[in-house]
Structure 1
Amino acid sequence: MYQSPVSRLCSALRDVSALCASSLRQQPHHSPVRRRALPQPVLGSLAGLGCCHSLAGWIGDGQAKAVPSSGTAPAAAPAVGAAGTGARSASRAVCSMGNSTSRLYSALAKTLSSSSTAVSQHQEELEASDHDQLDPLDPKDLLEECQVALQERPARLRREFVGLRNGFSSQPQPFRVMQWNILAQALGEGKDNFIKCPVEALKWEERKYLILEEILMYRPDVLCLQEVDHYFDTFQPILSRMGYQCTFLAKPWSPCLDVEHNNGPDGCALFFLQDRFQLVSSSKIRLSARTLKTNQVAIAETLQCSATGRLLCVVVTHLKARTGWERFRLAQGSDLLRNLETITQGAKVPSIICGDFNAEPTEEVYKRFASSSLNLNSAYKLLSEDGESEPPYTTWKIRPTGECCLTLDYIWYSQHALKVNSALSLLTEEQIGPNRLPSFNYPSDHLSLVCDFSFNEDPDRLL
Structure 2
Amino acid sequence: MACNNCSSSFTCLVASSTNAKRHTSRFKLNASQIQYSRPTEIKRDWVEQDHQSLLLASPQTFTVASYNILAVRNASQHSDLYVNVPSRYIHWNRRKTVICNELFGWNPDIICLQEVDKYFELSDILVKAGYAGSYKRRTGDSVDGCAMFWKADKFRLLEGESIQFKDIGLRDNVAQLSVFEMCESDSRRLLVGNIHVLYNPNMGEVKLGQIRFLLSRAQYLSKKWGNTPVVLAGDFNSTPQSGIYKFLSSSELNIMLYDRKELSGQKRCRPAHVLGMNKETVGPLVILDGLLKCWTDEEVEIATGDSGCHLAVHPLKLNSSYATVNGSTNTRGFNGEPLATSYHSKFLGTVDYLWYSDGIVPIRVLDTLPISDLVRAGGLPCKKVGSDHLALVSEFSFSDAMINPQT
Asked whether the two chains share a fold, i.e. TM above 0.5, the reply is yes
Match of 2:75 in 1: 188
Indicate if the aligned counterparts of 1:382 and 1:388 stay in contact, CA closer than 8 A.
no
Counterpart contact for 1:326–1:364, Cα < 8 Å? no
CA offsets, 1:147-204, max 9 Å, x none? xxxxxxx786211101011542552231111011011112112225211112221111
Tell me which of 99, 102, 119 is aligned to 1:211.
99
Structure 1 stretches of 5 or more lacking a match? Answer: 1-121, 138-153, 256-264
Judge conservation of contact 1:330–1:364 (CA < 8 Å) in 2.
no
Moved more, 312-321 or 377-386: 377-386
Across the aligned residues of Structure 1 and Structure 2, the Cα RMSD in angstroms comes to: 2.6
**Residue in 2 that maps onto 1:374:** 316
Residue 395 of structure 1 aligns with an amino acid whose one-letter code is: S
CA contact (8 A) 2:216 2:315 kept: no
Pairing 1:418-437 to 2, within 5 Å after superposition: 418-434=360-376, 435-437=378-380
Instruction: Determine the structure 1 residue equivalent to 2:25.
Output: none
Shift of 1:219: 0.6
What SS is found at the alignment partner of 1:410? strand
1:224 maps to which residue? 112
Q: Could you say if the C-alpha distance between residues 332 and 238 of structure 1 is closer, same or farther in structure 2, counting changes exceeding 3 Å?
A: same
Deviation beyond 6 Å, 4+ runs, structure 1: none
Change (3 A) 1:350 1:222: same
Contact 1:384 1:391 in 2 (8 A): no
Tell me the SS of whatever aligns to 1:174: strand
**1:348 maps to which of 220, 227, 234:** 227
Closer, same or farther in 2 for the Cα pair 1:131/1:304, shift >3 Å?
Answer: closer
Q: 1:381 to 1:320 in 2, by over 3 A?
A: same
Pair 1:439-2:382 in alignment: yes
1:15-49 residue CA offsets vs partner (Å, 9 max, x unmatched): xxxxxxxxxxxxxxxxxxxxxxxxxxxxxxxxxxx
Higher relative contact order (CA 8 A, sep 6+): 2
Does residue 158 of the first structure (1) align with residue 39 of the second (2)? no
1:455 is aligned to 2:341: no
Deviation for aligned residue 1:375: 1.1
Distance 1:368-1:442 versus aligned 2 partners, 3 A rule: same
| Correspondence 1:297 to 2:185 | no
Distance 1:335 1:124, change over 3 A: closer
2:102 counterpart SS class: helix
User: Which one of 343, 348, 351 corresponds to residue 405 of structure 1?
Assistant: 348
Higher helix share: 1
Q: Which protein is bigger by CA-based radius of gyration?
A: 1
1:379 Cα deviation from its structure 2 partner: 0.8
Give the TM-score, by structure 2 length. Answer: 0.69
- Change over 3 Å in CA distance of 1:126–1:413 after alignment to 2: closer
How many residues align? The count is 304
TM-score by length of 1: 0.61
Q: Deviations over 1:251-301 (max 9, x none)?
A: 11254xxxxxxxxx1110001111111110000111259x41421111100
Show structure 2 runs of 5+ residues with no match. 1-8, 21-38, 252-313, 328-332
Q: For the residues of structure 1 that align with 2:248 and 2:202, how far apart are their CA atoms?
A: 20
Q: Secondary structure at the match of 2:161?
A: strand
1:216, 1:299 → 2: CA distance?
22
What SS is found at the alignment partner of 1:459?
A: coil
What is the identity, as a one-letter code, of the residue corresponding to 1:397?
H
Counterparts of 1:388 and 1:363, CA distance in 2: 12
Contact 1:246 1:269 in 2 (8 A): yes
